[in-house]
Each structure stands twice: as C-alpha cells, then as structure tokens.
Amino acid sequence: MAESRFELPPQYDPHAVERPLYQRWLERGVFTARVDSPKSPYVIVIPPPNVTAVLHMGQGLNNVTQDVLIRFERMRGREALWLPGTDHAGIATQNVVERLIAKEGKTRFDLGREAFVARVWAFVKETGATILEQLKLIGASCDWTRTRFTFDPAYSRAVREVFVRLWDEGLIYRGHRVIHWCPRCLTALSDEEAESKDIDGKLYYIRYPVEGGPKPSLTVATTRPETLLGDTAVAVNPKDARHRGFVGKVARLPIIDLPVPIIADEAVEPGFGTGFVKVTPAHDATDFEIGLRHKLEMPLVMTEDARMEHPTRVPKALAGLDRFDARERIVDLLKERGLLEKIEPHRHAVRHCYRCDSVVEPRLSDQWFVKMTPLAAPALEAYRTGAIRLVPERWGATYQHWMENIRDWNISRQLWWGHRIPIFTCAKCGEQWADREDPKQCRKCRGPVEQDPDVLDTWFSSWLWPFATLGWPDETPDLKRFYPGHTLVTAPEILFFWVARMIMAGYHFLGARPFATVYLHGTVRDTQHRKMSKSLGNGIDPLDVVRLYGADALRWTVIAGVSLGSDLVLDPNDLETTFAPGRNFANKLWNIGRFILAQLPERVQPLEALDENRLQLADRWILSRAQGAIREVTTSLETFRLDEAAKRCFDFVWKELADWYVEAVKPRLGSDGAGSAGSPSAAAQRAPAASGDPTASRAVTHAVLAYCFDAALRLLHPVVPFITEELWQRLPGRDPKELLAVARWPEVRSDLVDETAEREFLRAQAWIAASRNIRAEYKVPPNVRTIFYISALAEEARKTFEAERQMITILSGSANAILGTPPNVAGGHAVLADGSSAFVQLEGFIDVTRECRRLSGELTRLEQQLAGLAAKLTNQQFVARAPAEVVAKEREKERAWHDQRQVLADKLKSLGCS
Ligand SMILES: [Zn+2]
Ligand SMILES: [Zn+2]
C-alpha cells in the first residue's frame, strides 16, 4: 500500500476514480441496509422520480442533499436505508406515450385501452431505469436491492388494499360536481394539479334583456363569454339594494334568447362588476353550488375537448367551435346586436393543467372523492405536537392552513395508465362494492359485473410510498424494522400533493408518522432568478457537469452554494465558473493529500502513543481546531445547514491545515517539500531545521498530520464521497478492506481541545500576517528574507513569541525575528490590535532609494488627482446641478484619497525618504 501512496497522479482525475469506486461500494454492499442489524435504523425514502424522467438540476440538488444526510448517518453508526424507486406517473407518462404515437398519426383511442397500456409498459421497460442509473453517476448511495416502482404487483396490492379499506370505512364517495378538467389530457384534475396562474385577460360587460323589470336590461361582467350559452340564471346578492327590483323577473340570454330567472343568492359578491352575475352551473364551481340551492338546470355546453356543443343551446354557427374561437365569435355577435357594453383589461388567476399547461375548464362530472377531514385530523395534530417537524419552520404555517381547510380529494382520472379503480357494479341488481380481487360475478346475485373504467390519481399510490415500499400490508421484517422513517427531503411544490398526504396515510393506515422531519429545500434558478425548466431552455444537465468536472464538483457546488431553505442560483451559460468552486476544492484537496501522503511513513503512531510534551504550539493548535471542526460540522449536518458544514470543512482543510499547519511543520518534516500544499512555501523550504530531536519531532508531526487529514476526509465524505474515499484508502496502515463510506464519524476528543493553544497561535498568526502585509506593501520579493521586530508585548505574549520564534521567523518570511525595539533604519511598521508594534527592516534588503522614488511618484499623482477633485467639489455649479448621490460619491472618494495620502506619507517617512 505504501508504494501506491506515492503513485498519486499530480492531477485529480475524477473519471478514473468515480466509476470503479462506486462499483466497489456496490460490490461490498455498503448501501444495503441489513434488516437484522443491531444498529438503530435511519431511513429516507426517495421522492420517486417519474419513471420517464431524466435527471435535472432540481433532482440533482434533491438527491445530493439526501445522500449527504444518509452518508452522514451511516458513518454515525446508524443502519441507514435510502430507499429508491420510481413513480408510474399516470398523466405524465400517458402524455409522453400519446405524443410518441401521435408521430405515427394515431391517438390512444385508435389503439384501444389494452394495446395502449401495453405500449406504455413497453416504453417504461425500455426507458424506466434511466434516472436511477443517473443517480449512481452522482454518487447516490441508495439501497438498490430495495428499488420500488409504484406499479409493481406488490405495490399495486397496497394501493388496492388502501382503496378497499377507505371504501369500507365510507370515506370514498361518488360526487356529481364541477371539477377541474383538462381538455387536452381529457381527465379530471385535483385542486393541486390545476395550478393557478395570473394572466392578462379581459372582462366582458354583456347586456341581458329583462322582461318586466325596473329597467329593460341588466349587465353582467364575465371573463368567459362563451359560457353564457350554459347560463340558467342571473343572480344578485340579496343585500344589494340597487338590484332588488329585478329578483323574480326573467332575463333573456343574448344570442339564443332563452328565458332565465333572476335570483338572489348570498354567494354573489355585491362589490364585483355590476352586481349581477351569470350563473353557469355546469361550468363553474360556485355557480354549481348556486344551482344546487336553487334547483337550476345544469346543461353542459362543451364537449370534453372543449368544443361548443348542445342540441338546443349552441346555435349552428357556433357548434363544434373550440372554446376560444367561440369566445371571439360570440363577442362579434354581441357587438352586432348592441349587447356588448364594454371590454376591460382584467388580470386574474386562471387554472392550468400541471402536466400540459392547457387552460383548465371547470366541468360538471361524476368523479370519485375521498373524504379528507377525518384523515387530516391526526396529521394536523402531529404537526401541532411536534411529532412532525418542517424545516425551514416557515412552511409550518402553510401546512397547517392547508390541513385546516382541506377539501375532499378527487381521485378518479379519465386515463388508461394507472391503477384501475377497483369498484365493481352489478349490471343486474346494481350492487356496487370495492374488491381486493377482481370478482367474476356479482357478490349478491351472481349477475355480470363491470369495473369502473377510470384509474386512480397518481398520488393515490405515491401517498403510500413510505410503507408500501416496505411490503405493507404484510407485516414484513422490513416494515417492522424501517417504519417509521426519519427524514424526508423534498421540494416545497409537492408539500400538499405528496408530503401532507403521506403523513395522513401513515397515521391512518399504520397509526404512526412516516417520518419525523421534512426538509424542504429551495428551487434551482438561473442568474435571472428564473426557475430552471425545459421550456425556458435555461437548465443545466447535471450529467454534463459530472462529465466535465466530476460528481464531487457537482455535489460540492450544490451543497456549499445554498443555505437552509433558500434557492440555488446557477449560471447555465457558464458552467466553468459555476462549478469552479467544487473543482478547485477537489484539486486543492488532492494536492494537500499528495503532499501529506508523500510525507507519511508506512507506520504512523497513534496520537495516544505520543509524549504530550513533544507537542509544539502548532500541533496543539491544529488538533484543537480539528475538534472545533468536528463539533461544528456535526451540528451543522444535524440541523440541515449543509452549506455551513461544507464551509467549515473547507476552512479546516484549506486555511488551517494547509495554509498554516503544513507550512509551520515543513521544516520539522525535513522534507524537500515535494508537492506544495499552501503558501508561501518557498520561504519555508529553505528554512533551518527544527531544533531538538528531529526524529521524534518528525514522528509527532506525522501523527498529527495523519490524524487531522483522516478526520478531514471523514468530515468531507458525505459531501464529496469519491475523492475522499480515494485519498483515505491511501492513509498509512489502512486495511485494504476498509472503506471510508462505512468508517466511523469522528468524535470530539475533549482532551485535544486546547483554548490556550488557540489563543497563542492566533497571536502568532497576527504577527506573521503583519510581516507578510508589510513585505507585500513594499514589494519585497518572496526570496528575500527580512528582519522582523516585534515590540511592546505583554508578558504572556512575550512567552509565546520566545517559544515560537522559529515558526514565526519562517512563516513571516524573515531571516530573524527579534523581540525588542527596532534600530533606527528604514522599514515598514504596523500597530496590531493588541497594541503591540511590528516592524520589518527593509534597509539592506530592498533598494530603498528606488522604493522612495516609487512612493513619491505615487504621492505626486495622488495629490494631482486630489487637487482636481477639490476643484470640482468647490465648483458651485457642479455641486448644485449634479444629483445628490453623485456629489456624495465624489466626497467619499476625496476622503479615501486623503487617507491614502496619509498612508503614503507615513511610508515615505518610515523609509526615511527625503
Ligand atoms: Zn393537460
Ligand atoms: Zn347483482
């Protein structure tokens, strides 16, 4: 193994590493949860992607988040189960296949139900595993032995069981009512599937003639004039004094001249429009309720695909016209007859099909509904008592409001792809029941039976996902072991579609919550803050990112780039810059790894074996910082602040371990500095070797380096699993059978927490930084070692300085670091926060005369600029005419230049320039 450590290629190549490593994890079964394990379980069920889906960035964020949590808990010693699978996605999948056969010039009706469903199955079998294979490429550690599909026979049995139970409990009923109808998909939609969008529409004011009323006509306002053909009344609010005289009279529908009653109903908003509303009970949910109360006729005047049709109400000239064409024709006809009073622009909410974006047409129809109030009660209670927690918490109010105002769920869909509704009706005696098996005959009279032609809403299967995937309704070992689960990670868009319903199903069918915490992450957006979508063409293919930069770069960017619950903004036009943080960090980690691994011998002593007295300040400091990193990363992951966990790892590895510790100990390693882990390394490499016993000192450094790097790799593993596993395998003494994926999560060792060391090291860092800053200001070349003085130190600080003089000398780029007042020579100075004073002697090291010339030149230029600016600001015209913020900016500039002038003057003085 030792040899291979030195064979690390100089560049990290994710493509050489990722696939073989993933294969190894699979072969070793590290993702497979054991049902007989003594460990306490930790379960996440994946939000099942549509079976036809291909991975997009939103799912990338969703799944990487889940993977970070599951890998974290697996390393913490939990029996982690991340259960994957896909959703048959009724309407979505049916739409995809309908589009396919449309290319052959066919509709599903040409094929017939059986052939069409067979076609969908063939399509699903051919493409269905795509997205799951893609999840493997981003490193998802799902338990693939437990992959489920919502249309699996076992799963379908659970769906049917649930349906029959609800039926037997009397919670399923046939509702004759106005539902949301998609005229493109030819199916009913639930409230959630009919998405509200604000559109710029029009409000049409239409005059209806009135017989024997106080006035010859009344005016109604409507956004859908074509529906007037289906009007069966005009209504006013009973409290509306203006229109009281009309109630009881008869209005005549324009164009078709049908008489309709004028009625009074509380549902009419007195303030809206003219106070009169047309009542179309078959094409509007509110009007339907009015129709019920007043026993009105409810004629449908459109076909299912939204063309105008009715034997008596739709005139020949309009029959068969699409609703939007009919709207224009009716408006023309109204104009011709002088019945159109006016048209106003009107912005209002219109529901759209969530699958095909067609405008939803409210439509009277017979559908199956589930009574939701009894199911909602325990789910609401669970939120109130804290049994179920939403993260971020702000979603709680939304959840609570929705559950308190829950409406019955329309579960029937007029589709062919889906779980067929298991309701059977006897053709002879009318007996109707729900059955677990397909009956051959009527259970009462043995007459012939017919099954309901509709299928169930897709969500009627996915709401069972947390337990149907584990074998329910059977009491399987998996179900006993892995239900209830723990965390659900999802997008807020499906809080009601899915999350709330899973909670209801969990309590109703198993009497237990499906999970304890729902983590709702943000949305992936482009730099204009638009949601990434196929239709906008502003998406990023996560697999392109994996191909270009590797899975870890993708994972790092999405995790480090988004804070709790907020949106992830990525630039689809500049993948290079967008994913640079991830790629750069992977490269940095690789370089640090190469350096450290090259230093470490075959055997490294454990920390416990070291003589504590041999630990120097830098050792004690980095060991203490490591404890801080372990504590903070653990807490951040526990509280879903994944970005903070990533950033803390970054700081520990890059800023603390590489930039400071490695640089501080390079002289002790006596190395030639093979590879470079930080800056400025050039100075360190030529530094004198450490005093004392170099072998013992080296052994300490090796132990500390190995411990810290090992801890860093463990902490980083959930976010960047591939590169960390690859490096970790090469640490000394590693058994080739060991895998980081199942290694122990590091624990804080209180014996290594050392606040004194942290304080002292911070002080040393401030001195070193002061020297480096001065050297940079006076442009001292890196290979020139200056003399560094520090004075006016308190007692404790003096001790630190004396003890760490060697480290300070090296890291400050000095030939010597001296405690005391500097001689009267040219140099740069700085006053530190603790009141001490730093001085870098430059005389004798740089060409002071030249530096004086350079600084004087700068000063002259600055003074000229200042004079110009002063003239501008004393110019009354400019000050009076320019906008206030421009003047303020100029004054701001003047102040800054004044400060700069002071700095330059001080520098010139301290260099002794004349
Ligand atoms: Zn649709
Ligand atoms: Zn019968």
Ligand closest to the CA atom of residue 94: 1
Convert the pLDDT of each residue in 491-547 to its tens digit.
Answer: 888 888 899 999 999 999 999 999 999 999 988 888 888 888 777 788 888 898 999
In degrees, rounded to 5, the angle at the alpha carbon of residue 654 between the alpha carbons of residues 648 and 657 is 95
- Average pLDDT, stretch 701-716? 96
The alpha carbon of 114 and the centre of ligand 2 are apart by a number of angstroms equal to 26
Which ligand gives the minimal distance to the CA of 444?
A: 2
User: What digits encode the pLDDT tens for the residues 788-814?
Assistant: 998 877 888 888 898 889 899 999 999
Judged against a pLDDT cut of 90, whether residue 390 lies above it is answered with yes
Distance (Å, whole) CA 799 – CA 899: 36
Q: Give CA separation, 691 vs 533, 796, 805, in Å.
A: 63, 23, 11
Distance CA 563, CA 12 (A): 28
- Residue 434 Cα to ligand 2 midpoint, Å, equals 14
* pLDDT reported for residue 270: 76
Half-sphere exposure of 757 (CA within 13 A, CB side): 18
What is the CA(360)–ligand 1 centre distance, in A? 8
Selected residue with higher pLDDT from 797 and 48: 48
Determine the pLDDT at residue 675: 40
**pLDDT value of position 578:** 87
Interval 674-698 mean pLDDT? 52
Predicted pLDDT at 78: 96
- 353 alpha carbon – ligand 1 mean position (Å): 5
* Pair of tokens at residue 701: 């450094």
Burial class of 397 by CB neighbour count within 10 A (0 to 12, 13 to 18, 19+): exposed
Residue 347 has pLDDT above 60, yes or no: yes
Per-residue pLDDT at 176 exceeds 80? yes
Distance 87 CA to ligand 1 centre (A): 18
CA 433 – ligand 2 centroid, Å:
11
Cβ neighbours for 121, distance < 8 A, ≥ 6 positions apart: none
Q: What is the DSSP letter of 360?
A: P
pLDDT score of 486? 97
Look over the chain and give the mean of its residue pLDDT values, rounded to a whole number: 89
Q: How far is the CA of 183 from the centre of ligand 1 (A)?
A: 7
d(C-alpha 437, C-alpha 724), whole Å: 52
Cα-to-centroid distance, 415 and ligand 1 (Å): 11
Share of the chain above pLDDT 90, in %: 57
pLDDT classification of 5: cutoffs 50, 70, 90: low
User: Tell me, what's the pLDDT at 6?
Assistant: 56
What ligand is nearest to the CA atom of residue 441? 2
125, pLDDT greater than 50: yes
The DSSP annotation for 481-503 comes to HH-S--EEEE-GGGIIIIIIHHH
**75 backbone dihedrals φ, ψ, rounded to 5°:** -70, -25
pTM: 0.83
Nearest ligand for residue 92 CA? 1
Work out the angle at residue 416's Cα, subtended by the Cα atoms of residues 442 and 493, and round it to the nearest 5 degrees: 120
Q: Which of 131-145, 161-175, 809-823 has the lowest mean pLDDT?
A: 809-823
Give distance in angstroms: CA of 449 to centre of ligand 2: 8
- 145-149, 411-415, 681-685, 866-870: the lowest-pLDDT one: 681-685
| Residue 359 alpha carbon to ligand 1 centre in Å | 8
CA distance 648 to 715: 10
Separation between Cα atoms, residue 826 and residue 814, nearest integer Å: 16
CA distance 142 to 10: 32
pLDDT in tens, 552-595: 999 999 999 888 878 888 888 888 888 888 899 999 999 999 99
For residue 244, pLDDT beyond 90? no
pLDDT tens string 602-633: 889 888 888 888 899 999 999 999 999 999 99
Which ligand approaches the C-alpha of residue 180 most closely?
1
Distance 450 CA to ligand 2 centre (A): 11
CA of 754 to the centre of ligand 1 (A): 64
- Per-residue confidence at 854, pLDDT binned at 50, 70, 90? confident
| Residue 907 pLDDT level (bands cut at 50, 70, 90) | confident
Residue 197 alpha carbon to ligand 1 centre in Å: 15
Q: Which ligand has its closest atom nearest to the C-alpha of 358?
A: 1
Burial of 280 (0-12, 13-18, 19+ CB in 10 A): buried
Q: Rounded to whole angstroms, how far apart are CA atoms 111 and 107?
A: 7
Residue 686 has pLDDT above 50, yes or no: no
Residue 539 CA to ligand 1 center (angstroms) comes to: 23
Comparing 273 with 153, the larger pLDDT belongs to 153
Q: Report residue 161 as tokens.
A: 């069981």
Sign, CA dihedral 361-363-365-367, equals positive
Amino acid at 265: D
**Per-residue pLDDT at 240 exceeds 50:** yes
Task: Please identify which residue in the block is written with the tokens 């070692």.
Answer: 785
Ligand closest to Cα of 351 equals 1
d(CA 441, ligand 2 centre) in Å: 8
- For residue 427, give the ligand nearest its CA: 2
Q: Among positive and negative, which fits the CA dihedral 907, 909, 910, 911?
A: positive
Average pLDDT of span 61-72:
96
**DSSP secondary structure code for residue 246 in this structure:** G
Find the mean pLDDT for residues 256-272.
Answer: 87
